[in-house]
Amino acid sequence: MNKIHPLASVHPNAKLGDNVEIGPYAFVDEFVEIGDGCRILPHATIFNYVKMGKNCSVFPGAVIGAIPQDLKFDGEVTYVEIGDNVNIRECATINRGTKASGKGVTKVGSNTLIMSYVHIAHDCCVGEHCILVSYTGIAGETTVEDWAILGGGTLSHQFSKIGKHAMVGGGSKVNKDVPPYILCGRDPLSYAGVNIVGLRRRGFSPDQIRGIKDMYDIIYNAGFNFSDACTKIEAGFPQSEERDAILDFIRNSKRGIVRGMTSNSKGEME
């Protein structure tokens, strides 16, 4: 049985699952699907063309499905898709996609935490088990892969890509792609080692972590350019999910990956 406050505004055509709670002054538009067990808290707004999975929470002031802040948008029908068990905290904003991008959908994967005042722009794809800390803003068509963490106040350039299990230090400006499994921070954004603590917490074995570290030593510390480093890794390391993820990410990067720390880098990792 759903629990809809009499002061909520819910379009009669909106599709609600079971045990959905909608608080006072929340707004749910016509072409919206909300899965079982979701909580739409007071003053949250869900505009048209949003599909939300099960057991999500949308906190006061959050706005999901507003039209994209993109001059190429021409009123076309585009979407936001939210997975299961997603928490969207106070005043976060998630915009719809654009057809001009060739995607037309903005996605947030299951078990992801979107903290307060985060902005997810048109056609972004945020993976599963991610954390976007307060005041982070990711520009249009940014990709954030599974298990990545973006520290508070991170700003990501349009078309950027953050690899899986990567962690970006708070206040960073992401203008290059961030490969999987690494820590990065400082200004300009630089490689700062492997995300060892995060990988241990997620069940990576000591051998897996050592292999990842050895590969990144070749990429960043052995004096090779990135192309030659990838060739050396492919020849010198046995096939594994981690090796393939690193090689595929670097070889397919369109913006280029973050550089190693230089003498011009400043600041400390949080």
Residues belonging to the active site: 122-123, 140
Name every residue whose Cβ is closer than 8 Å to that of residue 159 and which is 6 or more positions away in sequence. Answer: 139, 140, 141, 142, 254, 255
Strand partners, 120: 94, 138
For residues 157 and 152, give the distance between their C-alpha atoms in angstroms, rounded to a whole number.
15
Rg, Å, the chain Cα set: 20
Phi, psi angle pair for 46, to nearest 5°: -125, 110
C-alpha to C-alpha distances, 158 to 21, 97, 101, nearest whole angstrom: 35, 13, 12
The answer to whether 83 touches 110, Cβ cutoff 8 Å, is: yes
The Cα 53–Cα 84 span in angstroms is 4
96: number of CA atoms within 13 Å, CB side? 24
